[in-house]
Amino acid sequence: MEHCFPLHKSPSLSSFLPSLVKISQGPRVFTPSNSPSDFALTRRRSLRTGFTSTPFNDRKAPSVKASAGASHCDFSSLNAPLEPRSAPGKFLSGVLQNQRQFFHFAAADELKRLSDDRDAAVARMFVSLDSDEACLHRRIAQLKEQECQAAVEDVMYMLIFYKFSDLRVPLVPKLSRCMYNCRLEIWPSKDWELESIHSIEVLEVVRDHISAVIGLRADSSVTDNWATTEIQQLHLGRLYAASILYGYFLKSASSRHQLERCLTLVHQKRLNHRNSLQFLDLLPCGIKSLVLGRFSDVQSVPLGQGPGRREKDLEELRCYVMGFDPETLQRCAKPRSKEAAHLIERHSCALFGDEQTGIPETDEVIRTSFSSLKRLVLEAVAFGSFLWDIEEYVDTVYKLKDN
């Protein structure tokens, strides 16, 4: 099993910090429980999931081609390396293909049903504790827990897949289908789409990560991007898994940074308001009216629009990440739930090897361009960022296991 690349054997996340820092259709068809008159209200309520509902028929199905010399493989928008194994996962893949506009409603319904099923099994177990059927119901609850965990992982995967499809970026399929004579090229690169999900300051840190792990600078020329290099498939798999964790870490760290900055601004605003009131109380009545009148004419500059604010935000985020102690770093980088951690491992193994054993089909050296490596790393970082969002949403409906 030395060829496995589970998370605990992936390269250390700290080593990637910036240098300054698929598809079967289920037999079910989703029918919205809401009448047409209630649809708009339900849609507004669903906005908390972060998903938009664009009719699939109104969009051109995205596609991408991975080529290697004279041979190539085409993969469509519904072809992911990890195939859903559970009934909910297969059902959602069918909804995504045929009833895209109802996808997030179907996902929420599946999560609620899974949560209710698990809770019902646990409740029966506790009710039967003093009965002769205690062992039976305990075993039923354990099996139901395992079944629901596998199903919720598939639901999370399809939610992530939905986000990629909204970007019109299909996930790279199983690499063994796309290599010819140990040569891999992924085209089109979809760099712009994959970078568009990040804020400016986060994107700069992502570019630092790309430069550190594959040696491609952000200002590299077209010639540099299409230059070829050699890399072991096992190492590439570990790099991909580590980049997923890095994307997860960046989303966690940037969200924490934004929260702390907002709290600081609120605190400063309260202090300034209190001090100004104390100052005004000391002024004579006429002067106070004059001062208040002049204050009301002042045009404030919106936050983030001041000169040099962008550069300051970038440096703030870099310094903020660099200031993490090892415990905080581990807490931000480690997936909060066992389901998320297992999903990262399953997806990486399905992409580079065998999902069941985690062993790459080969550990041969493959030849590819820096552009293709960048595509894989950007996809991995986006996967981790989406996973953080999906994990937070799913946990509000179906309580995930702490990792």
Q: Tell whether the model's pLDDT for residue 6 goes beyond 90.
A: no
Which tokens is 237 given?
């798999």
Q: Report how far residue 102's alpha carbon sits from residue 46's, in angstroms, rounded to the nearest whole number.
A: 11
CB distance 310 to 199 below 8 Å: no
CB distance 52 to 164 below 8 Å: no
pLDDT of 130 reads 87
Q: Which residues pair with 75 in a beta bridge?
A: 64
Alpha helices in 282-359 (DSSP H): 285-296, 309-322, 326-333, 338-352
Q: Which of 224-238, 247-261, 309-323 has the lowest mean pLDDT?
A: 309-323
Q: Which of 8-17, 167-176, 295-304 has the lowest mean pLDDT?
A: 295-304
pTM above 0.85, yes or no: no
pLDDT of 276 reads 57
Which tokens is 157 given?
């995967």
Query: Which bin fits 181, alpha (ψ -120 to 50), beta or left (φ > 0)?
Result: left
pLDDT of 319 reads 81
CB distance 216 to 374 below 8 Å: yes
Among 67-81, 288-302, 374-388, which range has the highest average pLDDT? 374-388
pLDDT of 221 reads 80
Q: Report how far residue 237's alpha carbon sits from residue 263's, in angstroms, rounded to the nearest whole number.
A: 39
Q: Report how far residue 42's alpha carbon sits from residue 40's, in angstroms, rounded to the nearest whole number.
A: 5
Task: For 105-117, write each residue's pLDDT tens digit.
Answer: 999 999 999 999 9
Q: How confident is the model at residue 39 (pLDDT cuts 50, 70, 90)?
A: very low
pLDDT of 299 reads 42
Identify whether 188 is preceded by a cis peptide bond (ω within 30 of 0): yes
Q: Tell whether the model's pLDDT for residue 5 goes beyond 80.
A: no
Q: Report how far residue 133's alpha carbon sits from residue 334's, in angstroms, rounded to the nearest whole number.
A: 39
CB distance 51 to 125 below 8 Å: no
Which has the closest alpha carbon to 347: 184, 160, 148? 160
CA angle 325, 331, 336 (to 5 degrees): 175
CB distance 120 to 355 below 8 Å: no
Q: Report how far residue 98's alpha carbon sits from residue 56's, in angstroms, rounded to the nearest whole number.
A: 7
pLDDT of 27 reads 54
CB distance 164 to 79 below 8 Å: no
Give the distance from CA 375 to its chain's centroid: 16
Task: For 327-381, write each residue's pLDDT tens digit.
Answer: 877 777 889 999 999 999 999 999 987 666 656 666 788 999 999 999 999 999 9
pLDDT of 17 reads 43
Beta strands in 69-157 (DSSP E): 71-76
**Average pLDDT in the chain:** 76
Alpha helices in 128-186 (DSSP H): 134-166
Place of tokens 């039967």: 128
pLDDT of 150 reads 96
Q: How confident is the model at residue 19 (pLDDT cuts 50, 70, 90)?
A: very low
Which residues make Cβ contacts (< 8 Å) with residue 317, sequence separation at least 6?
21, 201, 202, 205, 253, 254, 257
Q: Report how far residue 212's alpha carbon sits from residue 228's, in angstroms, rounded to the nearest whole number.
A: 17
Q: Tell whether the model's pLDDT for residue 300 goes beyond 90.
A: no
Q: Calculate what percentage of the chain has a pLDDT beyond 70.
A: 67
Q: Calculate what percentage of the chain has a pLDDT beyond 90.
A: 42
35/378: higher pLDDT: 378
Task: For 141-184, write each residue's pLDDT tens digit.
Answer: 999 999 999 999 999 999 999 999 999 999 998 888 778 888 88
Task: For 178-234, write each residue's pLDDT tens digit.
Answer: 788 888 888 888 999 999 999 988 999 999 999 999 988 777 888 888 888 999 988
pLDDT of 76 reads 46
* Neighbour count for residue 260 (Cβ, 10 Å): 11
pLDDT of 267 reads 65
Q: Which residues pair with 73 in a beta bridge?
A: 66
